[in-house]
Structure 1
Amino acid sequence: MLASQRQDRIVAEVRAHGAVRVADLVEQLDVSEMTVRRDITELDRAGLVRRVHGGAVAVDGASRPTDEPGFEEKSTWATAEKATIATLAAATVEPGQAIALSAGTTTHLLAQRIAADPALRPLTVVTNSLPVAQTLHRAVPGAAPLDVILTGGTRTPSDALVGPVADAALATLRVDRLYLGVHGLDESGLMTPNLAEAATDRALLRCSAAVTVLADHTKWGVMGLARIAALEEVDVLVSDAALPEPARAVLADAGCDLLSPTPDDDPTRQHAEER
């Protein structure tokens, strides 16, 4: 396969899934890791992908900050990393709490783990996400209740309920912890392409005693039109082992704790090494 053909395949994979791992490309293209990294570097210089630790991500989020992918499309991006993050986040949920889950594909995976674990009950969950509410409604029956409070509002492409109705409902509530999904983040804070969703996310922050953000490494450096909050307003960021070291330093400076597996403990890394 010619270099141009390999690079076309890499771009196609990134556009289809939002991100791609070097280890996966080595297997798909049947070439060395060095060759894949060289191809990604050339594509990064050409502005076709953005090189990150362990792979490449789409540049679309940074170049078009108003784009808002749909829930189904985003569900196919960084699936292994999101699963790891959801498992880590579920371990921080305590029975008897009232928590909030924002809209997002990673928070939806967290909802699946909550729904499947009766040991996390009793639990009250406030959400502005239709998929999250539906998943929790189908929870495995347990001895203690799982109460779900769904805000009203206007539906976005990511299946979030936003706007004045959602904001007003949240203004009357108080929860122990918010689990927040974001479109992107960097040293300037948390971002989303949707102005109304940013306002509702801020309403979620205001009603929460503590804030945990769920974001895989591909979201670092991704821009959005609307800023939700500063990193200093976040108590914990749950991410995967591939989060780059510069991002970790920024989080530490902001006083934000990082919860992530070490490379040796990360199942996505172990799977890649086995390949």
Structure 2
Amino acid sequence: MRNSYKNITERRKEILQLLKKHNTMSITELSQNLGVSEMTVRRDCNVLSTRSEVSQKMGIIRLTSREVVGPNEREKIKSHLGLEAAKLIHDNDIVFVNSSTTAMYSVPQVLQKKTFVVTNNGGAVKHLTDDVNGTLILSGGNASKFGIMSGDIANHTFLSMRSDWGIIGCAGISFDQGISTPSIEEATVNRNIVKNSRKLMLLADHTKFGVFSNFTIANITDIDLLITDTFVPDKILYQFKKKGIEVIQVP
């Protein structure tokens, strides 16, 4: 399953690279270049269009101006999402934070308040600086080479307490299949974070919309607050608002 997700992701990246080179291409031309069916290309382009990375008109695909956002700019966006999330946390709050890099951007500011931060990302210890007023609790568990913890011990930690807020990032957001992640080990931990959080905020940049990874960790309706950037189309955000989800867009 993981390979399948990787192949789809790589193919969509290749579509964007081809469009950067040729400016515009037809569905047929993309199909021939990629060696896949036109139906597959059309499905990929629909996803990229939902994420505002391409535009489609009468079978012709072109890049949107928004696609110029590079990796450095994307990291800056993720940082802004994390900072916005931290503003909503108050003294004495218990906060669950999953292992997502976007969610981790909230931790330094949250720890400056008199909070209790519980996470399965061992990398959070680097934020224990002199100006920290909060308490950092690592979940424990089976640690990956990246310092991400999962397994029975990690799950027990999140099930043994209840948080005021859960702050999570994800690999994909789909209205049909929910919030998703590519890791089966982390999926269970994430589900327990969702289950035992009184309120849940999802931090997601524009690239996560219209995407499904391998494992669903939450339904759209589990979200209380969505924090995203300004590149997500209004029509998509409207669908969240219709479900009673608060939406904050950060420049």
TM norm structure 2 = 0.71
Q: Aligned partners of 1:224, 1:157: CA distance in 2, in Å?
A: 21
- Where does structure 2 lack aligned partners over 5 or more consecutive residues? 1-9, 32-37, 55-70
Structure 1 residues 157 and 239: CA distance shift in structure 2, 3 A = farther
Match of 1:88 among 63, 84, 91: 84
Which residue type is aligned with residue 108 of structure 1?
M
- Match in the other structure for 2:170: 182
C-alpha displacement of 1:96: 2.0
**1:159 shift after superposition:** 4.0
Counterpart residue type for residue 260 of structure 1: Q
1:243 equivalent among 222, 228, 232: 232
Give the unaligned 5+ runs of structure 1.
Answer: 1-10, 30-34, 57-74, 267-275
The percentage of aligned residue pairs carrying the same residue is 21
Whole-angstrom CA distance in 1 between matches of 2:144 and 2:246: 30
2:5 maps to none
Tell me what 1:108 maps to: 104
> What is the 5 A alignment of 1:105-254?
105-115=101-111, 118=112, 121-131=113-123, 133-137=124-128, 139-141=129-131, 145-156=133-144, 159-188=147-176, 189-254=178-243
SS at match of 2:90: coil
Closer/same/farther in 2, CA of residues 146 and 43 from structure 1, 3 Å limit: farther
SS of 1:211 mapped into structure 2: strand
Equivalent AA in structure 2 for residue 134 of structure 1:
V
1:221-258, CA deviations, whole angstroms, 9 ceiling, x for partnerless residues? Answer: 11111111111111001100111233213212332211
Answer with 252-261 or 186-195: which moved more: 252-261
Report the 3-state secondary structure (helix = DSSP H, G, I; strand = E; otherwise coil) of the residue aligned with 2:106.
Answer: helix
Relative to the length of structure 1, the TM-score reads: 0.66
**Pairs aligned (count):** 211
One-letter identity of the residue aligned with 1:245: D
In the TM superposition, residue 204 of structure 1 has moved relative to its aligned partner by 0.9
Indicate how the Cα distance of structure 1 residues 254 and 234 shifts in structure 2: closer, same or farther if over 3 A, else same: same
The Cα shift of 1:107 comes to 1.2
CA separation of 1:81 and 1:40: change in aligned 2, threshold 3 A:
farther
Distance in 1 (CA, whole Å) between partners of 2:156 and 2:109 is 29
Alpha-carbon distance in 1 for matches of 2:170, 2:114: 27
Q: 1:185 to 1:40 in 2, by over 3 A?
A: farther
Which secondary structure state, in structure 1, belongs to the residue aligned with residue 197 of structure 2?
coil
82-91 vs 231-240, greater mean Cα deviation: 82-91
Counterpart-to-counterpart distance in 1, 2:52 and 2:209: 13
Instruction: Tell whether the 8 Å contact from 2:52 to 2:232 is kept in structure 1 after alignment.
Output: no
